[in-house]
Amino acid sequence: MSDFFDVALSRRSVKIYDPAAEISTDELTALLETAGRAPSAWNLQQWHFLVFHGKDVQEKLLPIAYNQKQIVDASAVICILGDLEGYHNIDPVFDPQVEANEMTPELKEILAGQINGAYKHAEYPRDGAILNSSLAAMQFMLAARAKGFDTCPIGGFNASALVETFNVSKRYLPTMLITIGRKLQEGRPTDRIPVKNLITYAK
């Protein structure tokens, strides 16, 4: 197993990929399964993965992503979608736990009340969709690195065109695109602000 710190510290945003390199459906599924183990509010798993796997569909995505060549040279592209209606997952997530005696029906009702209350606040569905789906996105990129693949998160794309072109349900909000493949060129090394400048201890 790869050492976590080696994986985390060696990850770079790679933009130049080997267009001949392939990733199998099984490999993608395994990485997305790992991404789906990310934490989420109430374990509602407020994400959905729209997969672009194949040169034809990646070419279709290319103009939507402002013709960034990595879209077609990568082995695949994942669109991370945030779930604006995570409350629909209450029963699918909690019922198996109730049936397995890992959660009481009373606790399920308490949690359901909290969830439904949160989703009544106008800002929560969008905030929750972005926050939770971003956790899954980062986990996907680290899992990919651990398996020898490289990735790049992309925020620059036409979200409304993506929704229209690929018939994305109104339930979902496009959060980001992630290219994945084998690098032809190392990602540009970047510096980091000293962490001491980013830490404040509360008093």
List pLDDT tens digits, range 102-120: 999 999 999 999 999 999 9
The answer as to whether 134 is a domain residue is: yes
Alpha-carbon distance 116 to 112, whole Å? 6
- Torsion angles phi and psi, residue 101, rounded to 5: 60, 30
> pLDDT tens, 71-111?
999 999 999 999 999 999 999 999 999 999 999 999 999 99
> pLDDT tens, 128-160?
999 999 999 999 999 999 999 999 999 999 999
Percent of the chain with pLDDT over 90: 95
Q: Above 70 in pLDDT, residue 52?
A: yes
Can you give the pLDDT at residue 187?
Answer: 82
Alpha-carbon distance 81 to 48, whole Å? 5
The answer as to whether 14 is a domain residue is: yes
Structural domain of residue 73, as residue ranges? 4-198
1 falls in which pLDDT band (50, 70, 90)?
Answer: low
The answer as to whether 133 is a domain residue is: yes
The answer as to whether 130 is a domain residue is: yes
The answer as to whether 203 is a domain residue is: no
Q: What is the dihedral of CA 172, 174, 176, 182, to 10 degrees?
A: 80
Which CATH number fits the domain that encloses residue 145? 3.40.109.10
Alpha-carbon distance 174 to 160, whole Å? 9
The answer as to whether 165 is a domain residue is: yes
In terms of Cα–Cα distance, which of 37, 47, 12 is closest to 141?
A: 12
The answer as to whether 25 is a domain residue is: yes
Q: Above 90 in pLDDT, residue 162?
A: yes
Alpha-carbon distance 125 to 134, whole Å? 14
Q: What is the dihedral of CA 99, 111, 127, 136, to 10 degrees?
A: -30
Average confidence score pLDDT of the chain: 96
Q: Above 80 in pLDDT, residue 2?
A: no
Question: What separation in angstroms does the CA of 108 have from each of 43, 102, 120, 135?
Answer: 12, 11, 18, 24
Q: Above 90 in pLDDT, residue 190?
A: no
Domain count, the chain: 1
Can you give the pLDDT at residue 143?
Answer: 97
Helix (H) or strand (E) holding 50: strand 47-52
The answer as to whether 13 is a domain residue is: yes
Alpha-carbon distance 178 to 147, whole Å? 16
